[in-house]
Structure 1
Amino acid sequence: MNILLIDPQQSGISGDMLLAGLTDVFHAHDQINNFFDKIISFVHNVEAKYTLEKITKKNISGSILKFNIMNDIKKSNVKELLILIDEILDKLSLSEEAQKFVKDVFDLIVTSEASIHGYTITETDKMHFHELNSIDSIIDIVGVAFLIDHCYKWDKPIIGLPVSNGTGAISFSHGEFSLPAPAVTKILEISNYPNFHINVPYELTTVTGIALLSKLVTEQKLIQTLHRKSKTGIGHGQQDIGKRANIINIQLLEIINVDKDKSNVSTDEIVVLESHVDDLSGEILGQIIEEFQTDSNVLDISIYNLIMKKNRPGHCIRILCSRENKHIITEKLIRNTGTLGVRISPVQRHIAIREIQIKKVLLYNKEYEIKIKIAKFGENIVNVKPEFEDLKKLSEKLNKPLKEINDLVISQIKRS
């Protein structure tokens, strides 16, 4: 099985960098350039030329988006721009998943802008995208959807590593603001996407870039299974950021089943961290669970009761992580608990390969889309489970008990 890995740690992410990197890894230059011409032809009174080309910059070979805009989009507000996007999607032969992705990305940008400027999500006629009110944004977002549609699959995993932000300030239509820009910060907050700062005085992560990344990625963690790189793509950014290469690294990874001949399952090596504590309240233990569950370096955490020496009741905190992250997680565990020691044990595990598919289900005479997690051992399906957050949203939307929605969805999955 191949997995797409997006690595924006080097110098953040912008829409054109992601588009260039995907084109590079899929070797889809001719396809995307023809697609650009089609998009431009659907937009009245816009004159622009876009091409994705191979280049070598700072001794790194990759692809870059080159463009020349003679006459850009002239939309007075966000509502008009969203109507234009719907018109373009109606004329393009994109899948339902691709069209939904495009709309979700723009909806995320609208939500962030509305929150920043004090509008409700329905007041699009009062909102302005300013720098995003351009054919550029449409090219980047629709172009990414096209590449996943034609060169990958929407139900296959897309892994995203943490994204870097620059330091300093940026000037745009609303004035001067510290980095990351307000809309980028809001999208990072909404999506809970992991990020960090590096000492580079440039805007590295843009609004379009982080909106695309947060909606495209299905998992935000390091790949723990054994793998090899089958293809690597590099997307170059437009601006020069000093000595640092302004690139995004995108890889197609082939997952290797190291014990395939013996048991037809995948295995890898991880470590178990354990610590016994007897002086932490239930509230603190609950906060520790929450803190480590949201850490992308942690594979799993559990806490269970035990009796310690002198018959004292206590708890064992057990954390699973990769060997590479054991020191970081150990230090974090000591800081959060005050424990005097942590045991570290290397273990081997067998892994069921997980896939996420989008299925249509019929609920109360209406069709809905829901994510389904499929677990496989080798070629055998061992478990099929609906995504809990999707079930929860349907339960709230339909005002029906969660268990009832869950039972209906599972019964339809079993029949399909």
Structure 2
Amino acid sequence: MERAPDAASEPLNVAFPNFEELVESTTSTTERRIKKAEKKMKRMGLNALQVTPLSALPLDICARFPTEMHEHIIAQLRHDRHALSACSLVSTYWSASSRYHLFQTASTIHVHRDNFQQFCELLTTQRLNIYIGHLRLKTHVIDGRFDGGATFQFNHDLHRFAGLPSLKYLRLEGHRDNLFPEFFAAFAQNFQSVTDLELISMFFDSFEQFLEIVDSLPLLCRLAVDGVLSALFPEDEGTPTSPTYSQQKKLIDVVALCNRMPDVLAWLPFQSNIRRLAISIAPWYREAHTPLLSNVFRMLGPQLEHLILHDTDTSHPLDLSANTALHTLEIIGIECLWATTQSHLEWVPALLSQLRSPVLRRLALVVHLEDHRGVDLFDWPRIAESLAQINSLAQVKISVSNHKKRAAEAIAKYLQPRSYALQVVPWERRYQYSLRSFDSEW
């Protein structure tokens, strides 16, 4: 389950091995650049002596101003990776603050088999360890498959990721082998500061291994699970009985693609502090998993403030009547294809008619629209009636994959009159989840 990029918060990847350019902050660096510029001017037939060259800043120029002023100015650039990189080269006074924002907010370090050794060498220098805030680890578990270069393995190499006190975001991706005790020991030791965890295409021997990872992070606030497999619960064994799980006291946001791991759905109701939830179930798992999802809404509904639903239909209806605290609801995966009939879309107004939240302000519908005439298949009078009963509703956004102009004209006509702002927009990306977007207005 991939998150949509957010210009204000989504980190960018930093390619290796360019860190030397980021950490160089000496006067000699500036002098070398001046000499290089002079040589270039001579090649162009210009007289470098007639041009006032850039010179290194006096060592005390930054000391003349309060440190708080420097930090405030640099903080305004916290999402601009290139500007922060330049600021880190200005002086030692700017270096620490620039690197902090560069690696805490503006960049994600992506470690894979091609740069694993370089990253480990970087850690041993202790030059950037205290700044690194976002880390993405992608593994390949078969050493012999790739000729040359090192292969990062979770089981054997995770202990080398020590000394990262500021690490907040961690993404583990692409592990399809058994996890050994060494992995869990290294994980619990090295990542205690993590608040944001993503598990993507991970394989677990049992659901207890998943719990061991989650329970070892005392500060965990956000969890994303996508493509997680459990060997003990294949799809033909049905739904297991869930035991009593421990509660993550700080866990607020959860993004879960629960197809091959229904235990996640059984675990969610015990996490009573969840306020923002994005959930998805593939069509072939709905019959077995819908009862578990209904229990999630029954237990968490009274405190859920933001909800994203992906993939639902009339044959497996959900009950949202307990979601009385919703501020935002987003329904993704409304399929309006060539073979779609009006009966296939009846679940949309049925779901909207269940809304009982007196504080619901934003509603989003994401529609895969192959033909503009598919807009007419929706029961718009019933939808308009449901929306008219929500007095707090301020914004309705309908994203369509095609025919935005024709769809906008039709939808505006169908939903008149209205007391809310209506937007019909094209998809930016298909089927993306962005819980962070709930923090800002559309």
| TM-score bucket of the superposed structures, by smaller chain | under 0.3
User: TM-score by structure 2 length?
Assistant: 0.23
User: TM-score by structure 1 length?
Assistant: 0.24
Higher strand share: 1
> Bigger relative contact order, structure 1 or 2, given CA contacts below 8 A and separation 6+?
1
Look at both structures and tell me which one has the larger radius of gyration over its CA atoms. Answer: 2
